[in-house]
Amino acid sequence: MNFLLLNSGNGRQRMLQLQLLALLPVSIAALVNTGYQYLATLAQNSTLSTDDFRGRLARGLGASHESLGLFDMLAAGFAHLAPILALALLVGGFWERIISERRQTPMQPGFILVALLFTLLLPGAAAFGHVVFGMSFAMLVGRGIFGGDGKTFLNPALLGIAIVQVSFPSVADQHPLWNGLAGYAGSDAIAVYHRGGEAALSAIDIDLWSAFVGSTSGTMGTTSVIAVLLGAALLLIERLIAWRLLIAQILGLLVFATLFNLLGTGAGASAMPAYWHLLLGSFAFGAVFLACDPVASACTNPGRWIQGFLIAALVVLIRVANPTHPDAVIPALLLASILAPLIDHLVIAWNIRGRLRRHV
């Protein structure tokens, strides 16, 4: 891992290591749950074909399709997560190498974080073409043209995922391949709630606890709220992310979800209670690892409160109003992130006005 030592000063390198460490619980949860979803689906429906790349890899690693042991889940999860991560790292490293050679600067190790975040935001059976496309877009448009680590204005992984979702809408909704099984018609938990409410969730054995632990279907890294909380604790203790932004998002979600509960039509997502908003979909993951990206969020404290409430409002609004984006977190974060410089600009203008009014 020589390139990790090539570029950065001590502080920047430590920051990256912390961010990667904070993603460790989520990554482990992603391995276990992706494997669990795959094997559980197979156990329910043994007619599904497993004769694809991932199925063969899982079998080759020793995962038994009949049992649900920890090793089997890890092996099956590895068969899904590892190829995507390896490909994302390869594509990211490739572009980073090209950019650094063109610019005659050392390689910046931040692409590792981009690749990991990008991978965790994909479903377990994402098409490799989508990975190459999204990662290339993230590295070039999200990161390269701005000058690399710390100089971006959007989180590159967020941008990469957004472009994949926009370009290939089937990734975002009713993905037929959450578990890499041809013919499987399942969907991520939040889309299930959209269609059938709480009854539909309990029909596939999702309760509050399983949503909190993360044994539900969804994009790989985002299902386990408890793993996200562990990472968030590390980032907060190390004072890397702004607690105001995080608290504002959670408070905002509670407020706006309750508001829609009271005012809404009582069907679909408008009736979704705040705790389901928090637990289902990728809100928790996005709030901690994407929205709180220090580089791509508001950099003033009042701005952080505003941005947090804005994200929450957008998440609830898009979930209620736009059924093509049942999860809504990616477009909401993208919009809020684009608006962050404007929010900062207004906050600073207000601050300057206060300074002008002083008589000294």
Interacting residue ranges for another protein, rule: CB under 8 A:
7-12, 15, 105-106, 108, 147-151, 236, 238-243, 294-295, 297, 299-301, 344, 347-348, 351-352, 354-360
Q: Which is nearer to another protein, 133 or 153 (CB)?
A: 153
Q: Name the minimum Å distance from CB 321 to another protein.
A: 32
Q: Name the minimum Å distance from CB 351 to another protein.
A: 7
Q: Which is nearer to another protein, 219 or 297 (CB)?
A: 297
Q: Name the minimum Å distance from CB 79 to another protein.
A: 35
Q: Which is nearer to another protein, 98 or 352 (CB)?
A: 352
Q: Which is nearer to another protein, 262 or 355 (CB)?
A: 355
**How far does the chain reach from its first CA to its final CA, in angstroms?**
55
Q: Name the minimum Å distance from CB 89 to another protein.
A: 21
Q: Name the minimum Å distance from CB 313 to another protein.
A: 23
How far, CA to CA in Å, does 160 sit from each of 91, 106, 290? Answer: 12, 23, 12
Angle separating helix axes 329-357 and 301-321, nearest 10 degrees: 150
What would the two tokens of residue 40 be?
């559980």
Cα 3 from chain centroid (whole Å): 26
Q: Which is nearer to another protein, 110 or 124 (CB)?
A: 110
> Exposed, middle or buried, 59 (CB in 10 Å: 0-12/13-18/19+)?
middle
Q: Which is nearer to another protein, 54 or 143 (CB)?
A: 143
Query: What span, in angstroms and rounded, lies between the C-alpha atoms of 221 and 223?
Result: 6
Query: What span, in angstroms and rounded, lies between the C-alpha atoms of 117 and 27?
Result: 10
Helical residues (DSSP H) of the chain, grouped into ranges:
3-6, 10-22, 24-44, 53-60, 70-103, 110-120, 128-137, 156-167, 169-172, 189-203, 208-213, 225-237, 243-263, 274-279, 283-285, 301-321, 329-357
Q: Name the minimum Å distance from CB 118 to another protein.
A: 20
